C-alpha cells in the first residue's frame, strides 16, 4: 500500500526548497506525478492497483475526476 501524503508529511521541512521573497519554482516539463486512478477524494484506495503515473499537466487536468465506467 502507498500513501501519497507519507512523503510530504515525513520530509516536510527537508523537501521544501529554500527560496527568497518573490522567487518561484518552475517544475520541469517532464515532471511526473503518482496519481490515484479513482481519486482518494471519491473513495479510491491508496493501493498499487489504483495508482498510475501521469505527466504533471495530465494529473492537474484530471483533478478528482473518476474515469468513465468506474
Could you tell me the pTM of the whole model?
0.57
- The DSSP output letter for 13 is H
pLDDT, tens digit, for every residue of 1-34? 444 444 444 444 444 556 677 777 777 878 899 9
| Cβ-based neighbours of 51, under 8 Å, separated by 6 or more | 2, 34, 35, 36, 37
Top pLDDT among 17 and 59 is at 59
Average pLDDT (44-66) is 93
Whole-angstrom distance, CA of residue 70 vs CA of residue 67: 6
Amino acid at each position: 500500500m502507498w500513501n501519497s501524503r507519507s512523503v510530504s508529511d515525513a520530509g516536510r521541512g527537508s523537501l521544501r526548497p529554500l527560496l527568497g521573497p518573490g522567487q518561484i519554482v518552475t517544475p520541469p516539463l517532464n515532471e511526473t506525478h503518482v496519481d490515484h486512478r479513482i481519486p482518494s477524494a471519491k473513495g479510491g484506495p491508496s493501493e498499487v492497483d489504483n495508482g498510475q503515473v501521469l505527466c504533471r499537466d495530465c494529473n492537474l487536468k484530471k483533478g478528482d475526476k473518476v474515469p468513465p465506467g468506474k
